[in-house]
Amino acid sequence: HPDQATPAQPEQGAQRPQEAVLLANPDGSMATGVLPGLATEPKIASPRPGYLRLGSALFTVQDFIDIFHRHLGFFQLLVFFLMLIEVLYLGRKFVLREDEILLIHEHYPTLSLVACQRIFFGVLGLECGFLAVTLVLAVVACWSGRPKYFKIFGDVCLGGVAGSFLLAYLRLAKVNLLVVLLRMLAWAYSHFMGRIGRILLLNRQAPAAAPAPTV
């Protein structure tokens, strides 16, 4: 029948094939035909035992462990620079507190200087508290290596970016673009670390895999 797939015709006198044959479909595609009673090789698991998938690439478990530890060092360096820049920024803000208080008073002339001073120290205390929480979360994430702590740290950094723009909109603080950039990098990097940690955690919870094949 013209709509049915037809196997490639063997030559006259050829022996019966002992393996799977290719079938040519009418649309030009190819399919594999298995003869009755013919034993076939077992399919290879995808990904192969001992391998993990990241996107379209395959890595061994040890490769993932090496990637995680290498990027953990980069992540710690990024957090160190973020903390350093934020400490320097808040220190400068405290030194120039008189100018900051006068700036708040210019935007809110109906408030007294005492009220503006209280608002300034309240905002400064809020920023110092946020810095302390961020540092604790970063230490916990690096020490435990658990994906959920990396995610929490990244979400807090993203919330800090939104908070900075909110304070700038209320004219209570200025936006430090370097701090915003470092927080965004920390947010992206923490989610990357959490993804690798999640893959390693799932592999640790899975049944013991067969050893990686050797070439």
pLDDT at residue 133 in the model? 96
pLDDT at residue 12 in the model? 55
pTM of the model: 0.65
Instruction: Give me the residue label for tokens 């797939």.
Output: 5
Taking the CA atoms of 126, 127, 128 and 133 in sequence, report the sign of the dihedral they define: positive
Contacting residues for 143 by C-beta, under 8 A, at least 6 apart: none
Contact 32, 7 (CB under 8 A): no
pLDDT at residue 4 in the model? 52
pLDDT at residue 56 in the model? 46
C-alpha to C-alpha distance for 108 and 7, rounded to whole angstroms: 86
C-alpha to C-alpha distance for 10 and 35, rounded to whole angstroms: 14
DSSP 183: H
- The string of pLDDT tens digits covering residues 110-165 is 999 999 999 999 999 999 999 999 999 999 999 988 889 999 999 999 999 999 99
pLDDT at residue 52 in the model? 54
Q: Which residues of the chain have pLDDT under 70?
A: 1-22, 28, 33-61, 203-215
Closest-CA residue to 150 (of 162, 140, 158, 160): 140
Burial label for 203, CB within 10 Å (0-12, 13-18, 19+), is middle
Taking the CA atoms of 106, 109, 112 and 116 in sequence, report the sign of the dihedral they define: negative
pLDDT at residue 55 in the model? 52
